[in-house]
Amino acid sequence: MERVKSESGYTLLITLGLIMMMMLFMFAFTRIAVSQKAQVEKTDTSIVTTALAEMGAEYYKEQIISDINSMIVTTTQEMQAIKNQNLGYTALTAEMQELAAEKNNALSLYYASNYYVEQTTTPAEMKAGYTTLVESPGRGYRLIERSSFDPATETLSLKVVGFTEDEESEPIQVDLKVPSQLMWQGDKTENFTSTFTFQEYATKNFEGTKVESNAVSMPSGNSYNFTSHEFYYFTQGAVFNHQQFGDGASLDGINVLSGGTLTFNKHVEIADSKIIGKTINVDFSSKAQTEISNSRIIANRLNITKSTDSEDVDPITGNINNAQKVDFQGNSSICLIRNPDTTTAETYALNIENLKKVLLFKDTSKLIYKKPDNYWYYYELGVERVVPLPQNSNAIVLDACNFMLEGTETLKVYEAYDPDNMRISDVIYQ
């Protein structure tokens, strides 16, 4: 009987132990379940906030790209408006430089601003506007940081977070590859047709330009190979002792600049040409009629002579018989500009009078010169007239004394940033 009672006590202890163990297991399982539920909820919230951050990163990225592209479009439109004015290269470049300074400065100011960044004054309970887009109450994204623009890498960095009512995501960083400037003078070129003085034209190396760096002296019987519509620059001057090319003009449709004395001797004719030199000597050594036709000549001193017999000269007046003068015809002009360092006023006046005698003025040909009163005069068909005021800008003086040549240059021009070439880097998760 006592043995039975003893075994009953053991059974009770075992039963109590089993109950205790079951309760412990149930408690542990409950804790695990509750913990897993909390973890799932936390993970779900993290996924939501990260997704919101990604949406925000895309939003701010596209907003900034849109702003920059808008600036690019405006810039290219204003550049085109300047080009449409058909300015010369110098004026065009000046206008473009001014526009580039304005537009590039505006871009720098845009990069320096914190326009999209959440401000400290934004209420915590409702972050809105450009800084946050709230999709539903208590959920959204905001730009918490934007780096300064790095000109070395042309990079602008953004940090964006997403948030819910209870949690905020880790920042997502976006690196934007953006232009450092809107306009610049790069390697792009265009053709520009401009007018140049003879001195400017000589330095441009245009096709058809021949520069003789040494003094040229062609012996009698040898002809220099002048080609129509080309430009010749004799830096040290030149002497041509034989210059007749069949029935055509010796100088036909050419442009000549001389840095020294330029001399043409024997059988020369000048047609449709332009000649500039300090001292120019022209000897029409022929009894036959010779001519300067539709040509322009500018010189400090111009000596024109014509070989004649004594019977061709009036012994009293010294005038040459018209048949032995040089025909000065068409729309020709001679502009005589005195250099006070090399020519006295008396020599200059004598030069003018000699030209009046040897030239047979026809059509609208003119001799342009200055008198001691410092006024320009022109001599036409045997009549001397003063050039109308304002003299230096008068068409007669400009046409005879300031003629230019046209040339086409390939020059660098300003370029604008192309929005199609903007490179946007991947989003970096931190």
**What per-residue confidence (pLDDT) applies to 246?**
44
Least confident among 17-31, 99-113, 152-166, 233-247:
17-31
Residue for token pair 């001014």:
98
Quick check: 129 pLDDT over 50?
no
Q: Of 262, 267, 301, 260, which Cα lies nearest the Cα of 284?
A: 267
pLDDT tens, position by position, 42-65: 455 688 889 989 988 888 888 888
Partners of 369 in beta bridges: 377
Copy the structure tokens of residue 102: 């304005």
Alpha-carbon span 421 to 21, nearest angstrom: 71
Structure-model confidence comparison of residues 31 and 228, the more confident one: 228
The pTM is what? 0.68
Mean pLDDT of 1-26: 67
Mean pLDDT of 246-267: 83
232: left (phi over 0), alpha (psi -120 to 50) or beta: beta
**What per-residue confidence (pLDDT) applies to 128?**
47
Tell me the pLDDT of the chain averaged across its residues. 84
Copy the structure tokens of residue 115: 């326009």
Q: Of 256, 263, 261, which Cα lies nearest the Cα of 297?
A: 256
Quick check: 26 pLDDT over 90?
no
Quick check: 322 pLDDT over 60?
yes
Copy the structure tokens of residue 398: 């400009």
Mean pLDDT of 184-195: 90
Structure-model confidence comparison of residues 396 and 227, the more confident one: 396
**What per-residue confidence (pLDDT) applies to 427?**
65
Mean pLDDT of 109-138: 64
Q: Of 203, 195, 281, which Cα lies nearest the Cα of 241?
A: 281
**What per-residue confidence (pLDDT) applies to 40?**
42
Question: Contact 172/54 with Cβ under 8 angstroms?
Answer: yes
Residue for token pair 């109590």:
16
Q: Could you tell me which residues come within 8 angstroms of residue 176 by beta carbon, excluding any fewer than 6 positions away? A: 61, 64, 65, 155, 156, 157, 158, 424, 425
Q: Which of the four pLDDT bands, split at 50, 70 and 90, describes residue 429?
A: low
Instruction: For the chain, state the CA radius of gyration.
Output: 46
Segments making up each domain of the chain, as ranges: 18-113+138-191+415-424, 197-307+321-404
**What per-residue confidence (pLDDT) applies to 82?**
94
**What per-residue confidence (pLDDT) applies to 245?**
47
**Quick check: helix, strand or coil at residue 315?**
coil
Q: What 8-state DSSP symbol labels residue 313? A: B
pLDDT tens, position by position, 385-420: 999 999 989 999 999 999 999 999 999 999 998 877
